[in-house]
Amino acid sequence: MTIGFRILPRRQGVSPDLVARFKALPVANVSDSMHRMAAAGPRLRAYHASGTLAGPALTVRSRPGDNLMLHKAIDMAHPGDVIVVDAGGDLTNSLMGELMLAHAMRRGVAGFVLWGAIRDADAIREANLPLWAMGVTHRGPYKDGPGEINVPIALEGMVIEPGDLILGDGDGVLSVPVADAPGVLELTEAKQAAETAQMQRIKAGTNDRAWVDDTLRRLGCAMPDGA
């Protein structure tokens, strides 16, 4: 086995039922349910027009500016997969454009998270397959390798194992480990129900805001009478 230039099988993945249930939940609430300790970072930007992302990760580690292994990952992908690429965060050369996106859509790929750049940004936005990347450049990629598929990768400190759940919406991208997904789902659905009830109280004018002053007093904040 050659470290750095290899393709491995994916041995685990989140179930379609979990994917569907998570997709209905805000990424922010999932993040809160994981104690806000995981994030791919604010440098990732959505380049599709609208829509959310949820699916098991097909991971790729590639040399900066090279997309040989990304091409292979698209050929390997199962419908519903999210292809996540660690290309070192380099923005000199793009990793993919509209032709690769069209091929991926034909194969049923759910979306992309690219720790690198894209090109054909207008066409990608119009195609509207969920895609997050770090930037845009017209300069194309090389196809020489090396690289790896289905290995652990990390984006801005967020570790992603093959098959982990990848989520994305307007607030960014989040990875949920396979083993933790059922428990995180339970916590997030409870949080979502609590926030829905709170929104109803806000609209009705009955939301209790006493906690704000209680917290300030507990922390020793000096306040004038009647504040």
In a 13 Å sphere around the CA of 19, the CA atoms on its Cβ side amount to 19
The reply, when asked if residue 145 is annotated as ligand binding, is no
According to DSSP, residue 62 is labeled: E
According to DSSP, residue 206 is labeled: -
For residue 130 the two structure tokens come to 């969920």
Burial class (CB in 10 A: 0-12, 13-18, 19+), 75: exposed
The reply, when asked if residue 97 is annotated as ligand binding, is yes
The reply, when asked if residue 34 is annotated as ligand binding, is no
The reply, when asked if residue 125 is annotated as ligand binding, is no
Gap between the Cα atoms of 7 and 13, Å rounded:
17
The reply, when asked if residue 134 is annotated as ligand binding, is no
Going through the chain in order, the beta strands assigned E by DSSP cover 5-7, 45-46, 53-62, 82-86, 94-96, 111-115, 117-118, 131-133, 135-136, 147-149, 153-155, 158-160, 165-169, 172-176
According to DSSP, residue 110 is labeled: -
Residue numbers belonging to the annotated binding site for Mg(2+):
120
Residue numbers belonging to the annotated binding site:
97-100, 119-120
Residue numbers belonging to the annotated binding site for substrate:
97-100, 119
